[in-house]
Amino acid sequence: MAEFMDVHHGMKDITSEKLREAHNADLAIEGEEGVHFKRAWADPGTGTVYCLSEGPSADAIQRVHERAGHPADEIHPVPITA
């Protein structure tokens, strides 16, 4: 399993409730792709959302996000951490 950071743009004025709904929509189906979304952070000012996940591939991460209705704009493998 690899770790990924994905980025969503265009989420200006996102609320805590909306982020929670979006995250829950991922959690509800992630198991089908062998993915787990661990954390999400949102900057409502610029409309940027970061999601930290683990899974078998960036494609698997994107399939979950797409099916949940919010495809990522970037997905970065992050094999190096500190």
* Distance (Å, whole) CA 59 – CA 36: 13
Which listed residue (33, 40, 54, 71) binds a second copy by CB under 8 A? 40
Residue 59: which residues within 8 A CB-CB, separation 6 or more? none
Q: If binding is defined by CB under 8 A, does position 2 make contact with a second copy?
A: no
Q: Which of 43, 59, 66, 73 binds a second copy (CB under 8 A)?
A: 43
Total residues interacting with a second copy, rule: CB under 8 A: 27
Please report where in the chains the tokens 């949940």 appear, as a residue. 68
Query: What token pair was written down for 72?
Result: 């990522």
Residues of this chain that bind a second copy (CB under 8 A) = 3, 5, 14-16, 19-20, 22-23, 39-46, 48, 50, 52, 76-82
